[in-house]
Amino acid sequence: MQHGAFEDVRIEGHLIDSGIVSQVMDHIIAFGGEFEMLSFDVGRTNTDVSVAVLRVSAENQDHLDGILSDIQSHGAYTVDASDADMAPAPMDGVFPDAFYSTTNMETDVRLAGSWVRVANPEMDLGVRVDVESGTAEAIPMADVRAGDLYVVAHDGIRVHPQERPRDKQAFEFMSSAVSSEKPKAQVVADVAKMLRDTRAAGKDVIAVVGPAVVHTGAAGELARLVKMGYITVMFGGNAVATHDIESALYGTSLGVGLEDGVPRLGGHEHHLRAINVVRRCGSITAAVEQGVVTKGLMYTLVEAGVPYVLAGSIRDDGPLPDVITDVIEAQNAMRVHAQTAGACLMLSTMLHSIATGNMLPASTTTVCVDINPAVVTKLADRGSWQTVGIVTDVGLFLEQLANELEK
Amino acid sequence: MQHGAFEDVRIEGHLIDSGIVSQVMDHIIAFGGEFEMLSFDVGRTNTDVSVAVLRVSAENQDHLDGILSDIQSHGAYTVDASDADMAPAPMDGVFPDAFYSTTNMETDVRLAGSWVRVANPEMDLGVRVDVESGTAEAIPMADVRAGDLYVVAHDGIRVHPQERPRDKQAFEFMSSAVSSEKPKAQVVADVAKMLRDTRAAGKDVIAVVGPAVVHTGAAGELARLVKMGYITVMFGGNAVATHDIESALYGTSLGVGLEDGVPRLGGHEHHLRAINVVRRCGSITAAVEQGVVTKGLMYTLVEAGVPYVLAGSIRDDGPLPDVITDVIEAQNAMRVHAQTAGACLMLSTMLHSIATGNMLPASTTTVCVDINPAVVTKLADRGSWQTVGIVTDVGLFLEQLANELEK
Amino acid sequence: MQHGAFEDVRIEGHLIDSGIVSQVMDHIIAFGGEFEMLSFDVGRTNTDVSVAVLRVSAENQDHLDGILSDIQSHGAYTVDASDADMAPAPMDGVFPDAFYSTTNMETDVRLAGSWVRVANPEMDLGVRVDVESGTAEAIPMADVRAGDLYVVAHDGIRVHPQERPRDKQAFEFMSSAVSSEKPKAQVVADVAKMLRDTRAAGKDVIAVVGPAVVHTGAAGELARLVKMGYITVMFGGNAVATHDIESALYGTSLGVGLEDGVPRLGGHEHHLRAINVVRRCGSITAAVEQGVVTKGLMYTLVEAGVPYVLAGSIRDDGPLPDVITDVIEAQNAMRVHAQTAGACLMLSTMLHSIATGNMLPASTTTVCVDINPAVVTKLADRGSWQTVGIVTDVGLFLEQLANELEK
Amino acid sequence: MQHGAFEDVRIEGHLIDSGIVSQVMDHIIAFGGEFEMLSFDVGRTNTDVSVAVLRVSAENQDHLDGILSDIQSHGAYTVDASDADMAPAPMDGVFPDAFYSTTNMETDVRLAGSWVRVANPEMDLGVRVDVESGTAEAIPMADVRAGDLYVVAHDGIRVHPQERPRDKQAFEFMSSAVSSEKPKAQVVADVAKMLRDTRAAGKDVIAVVGPAVVHTGAAGELARLVKMGYITVMFGGNAVATHDIESALYGTSLGVGLEDGVPRLGGHEHHLRAINVVRRCGSITAAVEQGVVTKGLMYTLVEAGVPYVLAGSIRDDGPLPDVITDVIEAQNAMRVHAQTAGACLMLSTMLHSIATGNMLPASTTTVCVDINPAVVTKLADRGSWQTVGIVTDVGLFLEQLANELEK
């Protein structure tokens, strides 16, 4: 290979046991570049930090820029850092060409010679810079306003990859693989401890909830977690709220009696009648206040003052008046909570869980529970040590989790 | 059991080999009623129609009404038919209490002594009656206007259950079970024949398309079907259109090269950049007209004048300017096509397929293709002989289907 | 169609609500025959028995014989019954040509003008006749001895299809569909009641057990069921016994600590060391008697005197000395118990469950528990009302089942 | 931590980009040890080899031995190597206590001061030493003879971990993840190239085949690969051979016509009749020679002289006379081929694929094809760069693979 261009990059941290240097080297090779290790100060013990400096070579400047941009997201930044480049948004809702697309990790941009932390880290956004205040923030495409300045290209950007802690952590034994074949008692205890720690730290816990939680008769167990204060925000869709209110009004979910599992006469219409009733009341809160809905998960959320976001989908019947039918509005409503949460439980819903996962910073502890290993794999595969997948029956799991937390 | 109430009901059709009488009897017993067979004129040969009259007994009138309402949806109607009851909608978006909730089967309501066919049969809607014109139509809850008359309770309603044809049909061997273990050549030939027949009859074919069609490199095969005229409407979401346009602009889907399967430098950002480009153009059609998008599935749809509906979901990035972000609006846009289509191919998307399935009359031939048997089972389980599930690789399937249709 | 041949057949039972007549008619049509309904005495109420007589027509005698043979397994038998035909087995292990292949339903053969019940009904065997004693028995192919007489062709055979009871039964709500989305508390209560009833009737309960039961930490829950007397036979393979003994010796399953879920040093070798230890003792019973194995599921079985069959498979390490490495011998060891059991719990093992299912009479109540819906569907799809599939986490399920039975 | 014991270990190879050092460090920490990096000579370019020397500390000698034993399987060996310890087998079929349990990677043992390569590397065996000849071989537990010498403990053992090649390889883009969403044309081309290379190198290719290959109508495609010389050994069970012969004799698989997908009269008995026919002939080869079986996969294997091993399982009907019903004998028959094969295609069978995978050296290129992602994940998860999982329809895949190889 002719080396038309090279650049020296620096990486620091627990490089070896976090596998970070391996990843950076892998990517350089995979994309046709080469590297030379200029220096590698290895931490002698397992608490020291290592520092590596690599010289990355490529065929030409374009090729080099591509590689540097790629390994940047794994923590490599150029030794000779320059300021970030910026360009104005050409019109509302459109980033400038060559806009920098964010990861969900902590990120700095260099403005006037100083590294500035980007607020609200979230995947696949742009970085808006306020030159006067010297601040930077991640912004969704739909919220772009013409003329605002956005970071472009790859100079002056530093990403802090999520590091694996050297000592054992709560979820270590689970994070290695997603499997239904794990001792469940320990899994439950670990999740319980994590919830206690998160709430003790004063952070929110989001539950993302699918209708299977109601169908399996587990909505009551989730309501126990709400009452105990372990769930402080709820995300879901029309289905979970509808079937929960159906169960409050008629004792059924999808028309099947939750006490005895026997289908009810006319039961297949219950969900539609429940929606109709709440639409007449005006909202779920109104239905609770008017004494129409007197129990269940949604009732408990209203009574406990726990906020919820119900996002619409094209498969919705009705929907309930509280459902936000515009999906971009719904995202913005979820984003408010996602940015600050300390933990997130994803319970038997792929659509809402993926949507939530897209908004969470990499540092948010996330637990995905589903009986379908494919769903868990997809959700847990975010490349962060904070994400744990549990393949189990969500109904039985929530019951045991609530029991454990009540001890 | 004390019999406080009874009513005679009539069922006719190919009762025995369609299993219709079995279903009606099952439901009466399951819900605690009893029956006496008053008469049963069995068709002596396999072309004759049978007529059964049953006396249904229940504990009281309420119980009886519940049972009659239930077996009505399986084709049993009271011998002494009265006119359907009606009530006005109390407010916009709210049905009257006790509104009749529709099935997706052909339905008649009795108005002024005559049976009137309900237009636009679709599941889980209400039946709006125009007394002056003597017509009836199925209406979604969100479209209800205060004061309009809707059918309530269960009198004067006759449902025509989807009958299984006595002679063998194209899909008979497949409809019995969903399995990946079927000879695939025959399955492909059957679907090809069905598409030819549907188009020869001048009916639309809807393709409901998920992003896996693009990721597996099969968008080109689907485009061939569009060009040959076998797909006349396309439903999808932001993802399938984005990744198709990504492939047109950058040769990748989700950043992976479609020719060689190798990830591209910066490829994970391609989908976002593709969206940004189209947003700047104003629409997909504009991007095609401006020569920005010059190939791919979406390009082919625009060039062929084939309409498409892109429905938003909360997991969307961007989204593309053509995406209808309000889900109720998106449903209405889909509904226009769903009511008149002759066939529907559901290709690797659960969300959009379920949404579409909810809108299709029971008589629409529907083929669900997915590599995940759970998805196929869920979609194929609509209780109609017109629905076929195929567990296979959608990429390889579309290629063989296009080859078969080109013969 | 030219009708070269016809025959009158009779069917009796709860024909309509069991769907039996529908099935028979379906099959006649599907295989190209035709029928005329000669008489149909419908039970007027839901406790009366119906009797149908059909004239079946076919192209020629061969075609007719094929159709009669087919509908025979659904309960239709010729009005003019003749004696069953017999032929001698040509050599050891080989049935005579045209041997009658059994279903798993109660079956009669006509010998010297009398209907004789076939002993040990099981799928896919032959029917050996002892002319002197006038008895008949189902025999596996491998056990055939040259010269013994076997039923051939289809004359003189009457199958009693498994009828669905008209009144509600314990598992009715579950049998309609396999789903993970059922209220679990009721499912557990139903299975508990079934186990109590079976044991009260003095019948055996077989547990077919896969290694996931040990990995999920549920072996202790299953041992509780053994101690309480609800499991009286155990079927499994080398893996479940090995990992259970591994847990008794080292506290791990597959090397992972069952108390804390943490992998142990050298843990991946534990299963092989456990096998080596038991091989040195001579057998599992010897290992228990020598005080080497002092707890766990296998220990509990030995102590309780509950018999077990461990069948070999080609993926086995070792194996344990108790494993029957010849699969035909293993089948015969299982068959002894399968013929007389009143119920069977299939717990997270497809191979052993299918093998067991092949041996069970259709009347044996069978419950399949697995987290994978595809496994449950495959196992539950035996066409009998006695088979129930439950998609759930086997570990959590067994714990709740044991708790329910201890109440 | 008190450090009662320490030892210096050496690792060499492409340590960083293979992630080997990361793994060793991870394991030391995970199991409660500590390490100090004594030296780390990093290869400056991506072709140089690195050498690391670590001082491993533990609480006491036992703890240290456990850790050393663990990291040994990742390539770390003590700087001061001593000879391997040995002990005699106490009885037939039983290893000495503390026997060394093998990995599937290339392994050396130190005998009389020299490193000797262990013959036939395979997982979970013992290492038998012949002191006179100075040789060592991996031996299954069942083949142990009393008095033979086996390696015990962990001294004097060196494992060569499978290294990832630095340059791109055929399967790189696939090995990162198992997904059904890959461009299939490229996957097919890659597998075709691998088969060509393996055969060009004069190495065997094993096909491990499940019955779905026959049910999907793909047995003919596999037979094409046999005829072209790309499959040189076949492993399977009773089912695949039975259904293939059923298709040769009756044109059906599981009773369903392979040409038209329509169930045949009496078809559910075909598989049993096929077995009976072959049992009467004496063997599959005899059935071919007698002109009874004249086409199909098994016929092609016999005609081409390609060896096959049919291993018994407890779910077998019959079985065919060629089936090895003793599973330990069957393993030994498979082992002969597994040790020398250059590649292995695992086609829609979990049981036989896992059994085969257990016997393959880590260096054998292995491709797993199944429509069920859980099966592929389980099989592909062997920790070697040589294993590739493909989630697709095996029928359509084999057709395209045969077409590609015929080009």
Kindly give the pairing relationship between strand A233-237 and strand A308-311: parallel
Q: Which residues pair with A138 in a beta bridge?
A: A127
d(CA D310, CA D301): 13
Task: Please report how many Cα atoms fall inside a 13 Å half-sphere around the Cα of residue B258, on the Cβ side.
Answer: 23
3-state secondary structure of C45: strand
CA distances from A53 to A35, A42, C93, D15 (A): 10, 11, 74, 17
Element (H, E) at B200: helix B184-200
Q: Which residues of A79-132 form beta strands (DSSP E)?
A: 85-88, 107-111, 114-119, 126-130
Residues of A in contact with C395 (CB under 8 A): 183-184, 392
Structure tokens, C81: 């019954």
Interface touch C392/A397, C-beta < 8 Å: no
- Contact assessment for residue A110 and residue A157, using Cβ atoms and an 8 Å cutoff: yes
Question: How is chain B split among helix, strand and coil, in percent rounded to 5?
Answer: 35, 25, 40
- Mean pLDDT is lowest, of A42-46, C166-170, C347-351, D329-333, for C166-170
Strand pairing class (C252-253; C256-257): antiparallel
When computed from its CA atoms, the radius of gyration of chain D, rounded to whole angstroms, is 24
Model pLDDT for residues C195-218, shown as the tens digit of each residue: 999 999 999 999 999 999 998 889
CA distance D11 to D31: 19
Q: How far is D46 from chain C (nearest CA, A)?
A: 33
Residue D328 burial class via C-beta count within 10 angstroms: exposed 0-12, middle 13-18, buried 19 and up: buried
Which tokens sit at A177?
């693989």
Q: What per-residue confidence (pLDDT) applies to B347?
A: 96
List Cα–Cα distances, C357 to C145, C335, C365, C384, in angstroms: 25, 10, 11, 11
CA distance B372 to chain C (A): 10
Q: Are B7 and B70 in contact (CB under 8 A)?
A: no
ipTM of the complex: 0.91
| Overall average pLDDT of the A394-400 stretch | 90
What average pLDDT is seen over chain D?
A: 88
Where residue B168 falls among pLDDT bands split at 50, 70, 90? very low
The pLDDT of residue B226 is: 98
Measured between alpha carbons, how far is D60 from D58 in angstroms, rounded to an integer?
6
- What's the pLDDT at A313? 97
pLDDT in the model for residue A182: 65
- Tens of pLDDT, residue by residue over A307-362, are 999 999 999 999 999 999 999 999 999 999 999 999 999 999 999 999 999 999 98
Q: Provide the pLDDT for residue D45.
A: 65
Query: Which residue blocks in A327-383 are alpha helix, DSSP H?
Result: 327-338, 350-359, 373-380
Is pLDDT at D19 greater than 90 in this prediction? Answer: no
Task: Pick the residue from chain A with its C-alpha nearest to B236.
Answer: A314
Tell me, what DSSP letter sits at residue C14? S
The angle formed by the CA atoms of residues C178, C181 and C184, to the nearest 5 degrees, is 95
pLDDT digits (tens, 9 = 90+) for C242-295: 999 999 999 998 888 887 777 888 888 999 999 999 999 999 999 999 999 999
The alpha-carbon gap from A25 to the nearest alpha carbon of chain D, in Å, equals 6
List beta partners, residue B117. Answer: B108
Say if the Cβ atoms of A269 and B327 lie within 8 Å: no
Residue D260 has pLDDT above 90, yes or no: no
Give the pairing of strands D149-152 and D126-130. Answer: antiparallel
Tell me which of C161-175, C253-267, D356-370 is least confident.
Answer: C161-175
- Give me the residue from D21, D374, D377 closest to A16, CB to CB: D21
Cα C163–chain centre separation = 17
- Please list the residues that pair with C51 across neighbouring strands: C12, C41
Q: In the 8-state DSSP scheme, what is residue A263?
A: B
Structure confidence at residue C93 as a pLDDT band (50, 70, 90)? very high
pLDDT at D177 over 80: no
Q: How much of chain C, in percent, has pLDDT values that exceed 90?
A: 60
Instruction: Burial-class residue B132 by CB neighbours within 10 Å (0-12, 13-18, 19+).
Output: exposed
Is residue A176 pLDDT above 50, yes or no? Answer: no
A119-158 per-position pLDDT tens digit: 999 999 999 999 999 999 999 999 999 999 999 988 899 9
Under the banding of pLDDT at 50, 70 and 90, the label for residue A45 is low
Q: What is the pLDDT of residues A190-206, one digit of tens each?
A: 899 999 999 999 999 99
Average pLDDT score over residue span B320-349: 96
Helix (H) or strand (E) holding C319: none
pLDDT over 60 at A178, yes or no: no
Q: Where is average pLDDT lowest: A4-18, A170-184, B324-338, D50-64?
A: A170-184
pTM above 0.90, yes or no: no
Among B22, B35, B374, beta carbon nearest to C46:
B35
**Ranges A164-168, B388-392, D348-352: which has the least confidence:** A164-168
% of chain A surpassing 70 pLDDT? 90
Read off the tokens for D92.
């037939």
Query: Which is more confident, D266 or A135?
Result: A135
Both tokens of A23, joined, read 């990843």
Phi-psi region of C401 (alpha: psi -120 to 50; beta: other; left: phi over 0): alpha
pLDDT for the residue B18: 67
Interface of C with A (CB under 8 A): 168, 172-174, 180-187, 190, 211-212, 215-218, 253-254, 256, 258-263, 371, 391-393, 395-397, 400
The sign one gets for the Cα dihedral B136, B138, B139, B141 is: positive
Question: Residue D129 forms beta bridges with which residues?
Answer: D136, D149
pLDDT at position A81:
81
- Best B139, B315, B353 residue to mutate vs chain A (most A CBs within 10 Å): B315
For C16-30, the pLDDT digits (tens) are: 666 777 778 878 877
Higher per-residue confidence, A22 vs C90: C90
The label of the residue with tokens 């007489």 reads C149
**C39–chain B nearest CA distance, Å:** 9
The most confident of B9-13, C256-260, D20-24, by mean pLDDT? B9-13
pLDDT score of A258 more than 80 = yes
What is the pLDDT averaged over residues D50-54?
Answer: 85
Mean pLDDT of C96-102: 94
Residue D86's pLDDT is what?
97
Q: How far is D365 from chain C (nearest CA, A)?
A: 20
Tell me the residues of B at the C interface, defined by beta carbons under 8 Å apart. Answer: 16-19, 21-22, 25-26, 29-30, 34-37, 40, 42-46, 166-168, 172, 177, 373-374, 377
Which of the four pLDDT bands, split at 50, 70 and 90, describes residue C51?
Answer: confident
Distance CA A265, CA B236 (A): 36
Q: Is residue D13 a contact partner of residue D161, using CB atoms and an 8 Å limit? A: yes
User: What's the pLDDT score for residue C171?
Assistant: 46
Beta carbons within 8 Å of B386's beta carbon, 6+ residues apart: B162, B362, B363, B364, B365, B366
Q: Tell me if C158 sits within 8 A of C331, measured CB to CB.
A: no
Using pLDDT thresholds of 50, 70 and 90, give the confidence band for residue A209: very high
pLDDT at residue D170, rounded to an integer: 40
Banded pLDDT at A83 (limits 50, 70, 90): very high
Separation CA D29–CA D54 (nearest Å): 13
Which pLDDT band holds residue C46 (cuts at 50, 70, 90)? low
Query: Among A70-79, A331-340, A385-394, C14-23, where is mean pLDDT lowest?
Result: C14-23
pLDDT single digits (tens) A11-31 = 887 776 667 777 788 788 778
Q: Are C184 and A395 in contact (CB under 8 A)?
A: yes
Asked if pLDDT for residue D132 goes beyond 70, the answer is: yes
Average pLDDT over residues A375-400: 80
pLDDT on residue B165: 56
Chain segment D288-305, per-residue pLDDT in tens: 999 999 999 999 999 999
CA atoms of B175 and B367, how far apart (whole Å) = 10
